[in-house]
Amino acid sequence: MTGFVFNPTRGDAAAAADDMTPRDLVDRPDMFGRWGKPMRAAAGIDPADARFIAANLQHWVANAIREEVLMRRTNLATLLPTLAVTSPEMTLDRVSRLQHGDEPMRLADLLVWARTFDAVRDILTSAFGDATRAPVSTTPPAEGGMGPIVTTGMARRRAATAEPT
């Protein structure tokens, strides 16, 4: 051994890219979550960059939440305590940052909003849907269950033709 110590560090450009918020990745950051049109990539951002695609999805979800809240003639501060499915991180301050693209949404956030608003569920279904795969349905867990039961079309057909035990 020559005393070499492997200590990987990131260059300044990579570190700066990690600090980007979703609104930094779109061409109209002031309109993030506030209009129903797709965003274009900001200057210097590749439209095929997964971070931009995720930011655009977050923009669509944030806009759908805004519109749903308006249609219910309420506001986020009033709505949050009434959510059937929630998480401890779902505070008004954090939700406001998510809505404006100041922080990326997490999977738990998407699940909360998809269970609350059909429009969000439709956006996620269209974004993650794949016509080449068998349709999948989920049912809520039984009381005390561990999670949703995921059933493919093939499993439903097998269950329908199976003999009762």
Of the given ranges (13-22, 35-44, 76-85, 87-96), which has the lowest mean pLDDT?
A: 13-22
Q: What is the pLDDT of residue 112?
A: 93
Does the pLDDT value for residue 122 go beyond 70? yes
- Strand 136-139 vs strand 149-152: parallel, antiparallel, or unpaired? antiparallel
pTM value is 0.69
How many percent of the chain have pLDDT more than 90? Answer: 56
Query: For the segment 49-93, what is each residue's pLDDT rounded down to a tens digit?
Result: 999 999 999 999 999 999 999 999 999 999 999 988 788 889 999
Handedness of CA 15, 17, 23, 29 (dihedral sign): positive
φ, ψ (nearest 5 deg) of residue 150 = -100, 130
